[in-house]
Amino acid sequence: MNNVYRRVVVTGMGAVTPVGNSVKESWSSLVEGKNGIGPITLFDTEAFKAKLGAQVKDFDPLEYMERQDMLRSDRYTHFAVATASQAVTDSGIEGKVAPEKFAVYFGTGIGGIGTFETEHSKLLEKGPRRVSPLFVPMMIANMAAGTIAIRYNCKGAAMPSVTACASGSNAIGEALRAIRHGYADAVIAGGAEAAISPSAVAGFVNMQALSVSTDPDAASLPFDKRRGGFVIGEGSAAFILEEYEHAVSRGAHIYAEVCGYGSTCDAYHITAPHPEAEGGARAMIEAMEEAGYTESDRVYVNAHGTGTPMNDTTETVAIKKALGEEAARRAYISSTKSMTGHMLGAAGAVEAMACVMALNEGVLPPTINLIEPDEKCDLNYLPGKALRADIDLALSNSLGFGGHNACLAFRKVVS
């Protein structure tokens, strides 16, 4: 399909994660197996069963925005603006693309839940007159995309994707399609989330989705027999996606080609994955077909790998269905959520960054704390330590509440 549509490449990246506030720092931590999980400090967890989170650390939004703008926006928007700023600087795209052909596709699963909690408390405790006039624009899930577009004069589409844990991946995938079909020449794409908040943690823990472990090294356990739920995380990652000839003509550094995208729905249940993994497998197959997959490809899969009992076994089934049993056993697979926790709407974007870096560096990040493998999760999940290996194709899986499945495929650029 790359011969039919315009080719799309990555020319810039930014990241703010629980293991680093830049791509360089985050990637180094992932390769080293650094655990970003620890006690939640953003609110008092005394009454909560779940007390651990993967928080962003030492982050100062004033490095990326004026104080007035910071006070008028939610924490998830702070993360989004920071990573977009990093990606734009990295790419050198600013001023090199027509505003009408410059777009923003930025996802979030929840949006400004911290703002919602603050202003709702004001409503209950002090009355309606004390609710901020900026409550709605700070809270709504499109505002990260809108704020980025305003900052960089992006007059093409400015679209949020809100597909739960697939939001970041869907944003990148839909940006890919916009460039392929000529609606944009460049897109700022990614995802952001800042949902380590009382109501979110209470909701997730009461539906028995969160780990209640108090040991950071025994909490986020993808593919491990001991796993008991995910650890909530936060952060953002952003990409500059650019039409290949446009990037070449301005001498841009090209990290990788975005060569495939699959987006499906299980149409089965609001939270549970389909037990036969049909939708997840089909998303992978669609991405692989677009990427020109062959059995000779050396494949790395950054798994959704949340550490919930159902997700990990179902995703294992999906990988086997998509690749075939033999090729699935040859593939390298890992879940970086073992280190970052589950960053919800930002997860797909951060994990796509890990895929691009794995292609560039020839190093595959591990699944840490995988000590007691589940017999039903019987593939090569790179337990414990990073692996040096050259790969041809990197796949990033995202599976969200509502049955949303997304898979992104990346290759090294061949001119």
Active site residues: 165, 304, 342
Beta-bridged to residue 224, according to DSSP, are 373
The long-range contacts involving 310-313, CB below 8 angstroms and separated by at least 24 positions, are 310/272, 310/273, 311/273, 311/399, 312/222, 312/223, 312/227, 312/374, 312/377, 313/374, 313/376, 313/377
CA dihedral 130, 133, 134, 137 (to 10 degrees): 130
Contact 356, 336 (CB under 8 A): no
**Bridge-based pairing state of the strands 393-400 and 299-302:** parallel
**How far lies 236's CA from each of 284, 311, 354, in Å?**
23, 22, 13
C-alpha 261/C-alpha 179 separation (Å) is: 13
d(CA 374, CA 356): 28
171 close to 263: Cβ distance less than 8 angstroms: no
Cite the DSSP H helix spans in 207-243.
none
- Tokens representing residue 113 in the block: 């839940």
